[in-house]
Amino acid sequence: MSPKVFLFGYSGHARVVCDIFLSRGYDLAGYFTESSVENNPYELLYCGFEEESGSLAIIKNHSYFVAVGSNSIRKKISATLFNQTGINPCNALAVSAVLSPKIQMGNGVMAGPASIINSGSTIGNGVICNTASIIEHECNIGDYVHVAPGAILCGNVTVGENSFIGAGSVIKEGIIIGKNVTIGAGTVVLQNIEDGKIVVGNPQRIIR
């Protein structure tokens, strides 16, 4: 029997997650959102809203995954689920992802199609390593970080929790990026970034 997995969130990002689980032989048992969606390409069962009393009983003895791209929302839902169930989410690891056997990985991690995570890296809880992103050797990625498609983190990069690394950006080796940082698409980061900054451009410039 195929393992069952329930999704929390069912937007565009969740479609990529659906493909990952289906390619791994999982049974997509249903989804939780605030209300049912009109566009349901995978014909999933609507299971209710995670904040409604009793709606989570169905996931007991099965796996679940928080398929939400927003770091803050993904973190909030993950905390709600763990507090109510005591169960950690599974990981969504694409068949085409290249994952070194010498990495450490938390719970609720997505490694998208053609993503690469190399030796010695540590990936926190709820991290998204999106399509074709590259996380080189000995990087340290904090909880609920989103590394967007095509982003490249060279060796020994540290990213603080809740930060967003934009599509196609390049982070120089050894750089330290703080918590709650937003790095725009295509940015080239050559210097450390403090907590809470918004950075864009090539080379990087702080806009807030």
Instruction: Sketch out the chain's domains with CATH numbers.
Output: 4-90 (3.40.50.20), 91-199 (2.160.10.10)
How far apart are the C-alpha atoms of 83 and 207, rounded to whole Å? Answer: 37
How far apart are the C-alpha atoms of 3 and 79, rounded to whole Å? Answer: 23
pLDDT at residue 61, rounded to an integer: 81
Angle at 29 between CA 23 and CA 35, to 5 degrees: 120
Q: Are strands 176-177 and 158-159 parallel, antiparallel or unpaired?
A: parallel
pLDDT, tens only, 145-165? 999 999 999 999 999 999 999
How far apart are the C-alpha atoms of 8 and 6, rounded to whole Å? Answer: 7
How far apart are the C-alpha atoms of 109 and 97, rounded to whole Å? Answer: 12
For residue 203, cis peptide bond before it (omega within 30 degrees of 0): yes
Q: Are strands 4-8 and 63-66 parallel, antiparallel or unpaired?
A: parallel
Which is catalytic among the residues 13, 62, 137, 146? 137
pTM of the model: 0.95
The SS3 of residue 194 is coil
Count of residues in the chain:
208
Q: What is the mean pLDDT of the chain?
A: 95
How far apart are the C-alpha atoms of 51 and 45, rounded to whole Å? Answer: 17
- Given a cut of 70, whether residue 69 has pLDDT beyond it is yes
pLDDT at residue 58, rounded to an integer: 84
62 is catalytic: no
Structure tokens at 99: 């994952």
